[in-house]
Amino acid sequence: MLDTASNRPALPPEIARRRTFAIISHPDAGKTTLTEKFLLYGGAIQMAGQVRAKGEARRTRSDFMQMEKDRGISVSASAMSFDYGKFRFNLVDTPGHSDFSEDTYRTLTAVDAAVMVIDGAKGVESQTQKLFEVCRLRDLPILTFCNKMDRESRDTFEIIDEIQEMLAIDVTPASWPIGQGRDFVGCYDILRDRLELMDRADRNKVAESIKIEGLDDPKLAEHVPAHLLDQLMEELEMARELLPKLDPQAVLEGHMTPIWFGSAINSFGVKELMEGIGAYGPEPQPQSAEPRQIFPDETKVSGFVFKVQANMDPKHRDRVAFVRLASGHFKRGMKLLHVRSKKPMAVSNPVLFLASDRELAEEAWAGDIIGIPNHGQLRIGDTLTEGEAIRVTGIPSFAPELLQTVRAGDPMKAKHLEKALMQFAEEGAAKVFKPSIGSGFIVGVVGALQFEVLASRIEMEYGLPVRFEPSQFTSARWVSGPKLAVDKFVNANKQHIAHDHDGDIVYLTRLQWDIDRIERDYPDLTLSATKEMM
């Protein structure tokens, strides 16, 4: 991460033991199940299954949550803290659906690492890739969990190759699966020379772990059927030759990801992953800010708001600002400076999110996430300090609609650019509009950071440097209605008309007044702020 950090003395133990991370995955890969198992081992809940039940109860509480329920997606991010071994884990939940990606982007500004969960049968999926790229923008260290190994899965080398190629990151196996699908018996723990055997009968039972003295140890043959053992030996041999060794520094710099194989639902591989996050995951990192960086071991407390959630608790009708502590040792009742308004703020009822229930936070350290109930003073990006006028940077602000024109650095590459944009439009990563007058494209996104993601992807995947520039328009509406009326409208408003990647007609403007006027003047037409994705 930041070079300046390496010259500093070791962090105080309370801070050094914190691991603040998010899970990134494609929907259905097993993020919820893995979270439940983390909490189960973290002692935060008694029985797996509670996260889901709790989540569903909460989701009925507001329209937004209702929408989430109807669509079967998770949009509410929350933070959960739990202890395991000597570590304090802070897991910040990310919404999985791409419509809500701006939320995810912000969440990732509050963590020091990400756990990437992939489905062993599916490999790297579209959402995995998108989220990974956001992590890469911040050089976040990534630890990988390849889930559902109890099912028929892809060949281990194939999975590793796919991650290396699609995500351009070195992959080092931390464990190696033994057998496939029904034959899957467990993993060989490469980092610690142990055999981990899965118990299919009891899903909440921790795997049997057997210490092995190297690959010649006769104990291996006692536990692994002969044909699987031969295959394991062969594969481990190949892995040793072909795949890079674990380099903890490369992991911390985000160039290498260790991969564990397991089955979250069978509680298999989860402990090894947790221990891995402890051993190889980063301590709380310095935070970029103006006019100076903030270091976690500074004695004075500082923090920043990365998420605001309304109506978390219907009884209180409050808003909770999620604050990532960037430095210091926070104690309940502290008076902090709200830097934007220059006003002091007594933080008398902060909450820590301990898995199932909110609890009053008596104290917290750099790296922790606390919730501060408030009536709207706290906004995303706000900084709280003990008095210094310092402002945390790098937290994107998201207007609901952002439009920018995009140009290729090399004007001869316009066709190339069009192709790239169409691909992203089809993926749903951005809206792409071709104005009917003039050249170039207008790109619309929900979050400003998405422009950066797009620019870096276009450069990476198409070798095409591009520039995003402010557009004269701020809103887009899809136009529909009887053909005659649409034609008449289009002819009279050519300056404002564009087509999206599907060829559908879009009206662009910067004035709500324009939209109101058209609705009045063209009663047959519908101007719509949304369009069904096909």
Query: Which residues here bind ligand GDP, judged by CB under 6 A?
Result: 25, 27-33, 147-148, 150-151, 263-266
Check the annotation: does 28 bind a ligand: yes
Closest approach, Cβ 74 to ligand GDP, in A, equals 7
Q: Which one, 259 or 402, has the nearer CB to ligand GDP? A: 259
Q: Which amino acid is at 243?
A: L
SS3 of 149-211: the string is CCCCCCCHHHHHHHHHHHHCCEEEECEEEECCHHHCCEEEECCCCEEEECCCCCCCCCCEEEE
Closest approach, Cβ 80 to ligand GDP, in A, equals 14
Using N-to-C axis directions, what is the helix angle for 50-59 and 31-41, rounded to 10°?
Answer: 120
Q: Are strands 18-25 and 113-119 parallel, antiparallel or unpaired?
A: parallel
Q: Which one, 428 or 440, has the nearer CB to ligand GDP? A: 428
Check the annotation: does 29 bind a ligand: yes
- H-type helices in 245-291, by residue range? 248-252, 270-280
Closest approach, Cβ 264 to ligand GDP, in A, equals 4
Among candidates 476, 525, 524, which has minimal Cα distance to 501? 476
Among candidates 435, 406, 440, which has minimal Cα distance to 498? 435
Tell me the C-alpha distance between 48 and 37, whole Å: 6
Check the annotation: does 93 bind a ligand: yes
Closest approach, Cβ 468 to ligand GDP, in A, equals 32
Number of other residues whose CB lies within 10 A of the CB of residue 130 = 20
* Three-class secondary structure of residue 253 per DSSP: coil
Q: Which one, 52 or 467, has the nearer CB to ligand GDP? A: 52
Q: Which one, 29 or 115, has the nearer CB to ligand GDP? A: 29
Q: Which one, 260 or 330, has the nearer CB to ligand GDP? A: 260
Q: Which one, 27 or 440, has the nearer CB to ligand GDP? A: 27
Taking CB atoms within 8 Å and a gap of at least 24, the contacts of 453-461 are: 453/130, 453/133, 453/134, 453/137, 453/429, 454/406, 454/424, 454/429, 454/430, 456/133, 456/136, 456/137, 457/133, 457/424, 457/429, 458/417, 458/420, 458/421, 458/424, 460/168, 461/420
| Tokens found for residue 159 | 């999975």
Q: Which one, 151 or 192, has the nearer CB to ligand GDP? A: 151
Do residues 334 and 301 make contact, with C-beta atoms less than 8 angstroms apart? Answer: yes
Check the annotation: does 149 bind a ligand: yes
* Three-class secondary structure of residue 114 per DSSP: strand
Q: Which amino acid is at 328?
A: G
Check the annotation: does 30 bind a ligand: yes
Closest approach, Cβ 386 to ligand GDP, in A, equals 39
Q: Which one, 28 or 521, has the nearer CB to ligand GDP? A: 28
Closest approach, Cβ 120 to ligand GDP, in A, equals 8
Check the annotation: does 531 bind a ligand: no
β-partners of residue 113 are 21
Which helix (DSSP H) or strand (DSSP E) does residue 117 occupy?
A: strand 113-119
Check the annotation: does 96 bind a ligand: yes
Q: Which one, 160 or 264, has the nearer CB to ligand GDP? A: 264
- Could you tell me the sign of the dihedral formed by the alpha carbons of 286, 375, 475, 530, in that order? positive
Check the annotation: does 94 bind a ligand: yes
Closest approach, Cβ 320 to ligand GDP, in A, equals 23
Do residues 267 and 147 make contact, with C-beta atoms less than 8 angstroms apart? Answer: no
Check the annotation: does 173 bind a ligand: no
Q: Which one, 89 or 489, has the nearer CB to ligand GDP? A: 89
> For residue 184, with 0-12 CB atoms within 10 Å meaning exposed, 13-18 middle and 19 or more buried, which class applies?
buried
Do residues 433 and 442 make contact, with C-beta atoms less than 8 angstroms apart? Answer: yes
Closest approach, Cβ 505 to ligand GDP, in A, equals 36
Check the annotation: does 318 bind a ligand: no
Closest approach, Cβ 28 to ligand GDP, in A, equals 4
Closest approach, Cβ 214 to ligand GDP, in A, equals 29
β-partners of residue 506 are 478, 498
Check the annotation: does 483 bind a ligand: no
Check the annotation: does 438 bind a ligand: no
Check the annotation: does 31 bind a ligand: yes
Number of other residues whose CB lies within 10 A of the CB of residue 72 = 8
Binding-site residues, in ranges, read: 25-32, 93-97, 147-150
Binding-site residues for GTP, in ranges, read: 25-32, 93-97, 147-150
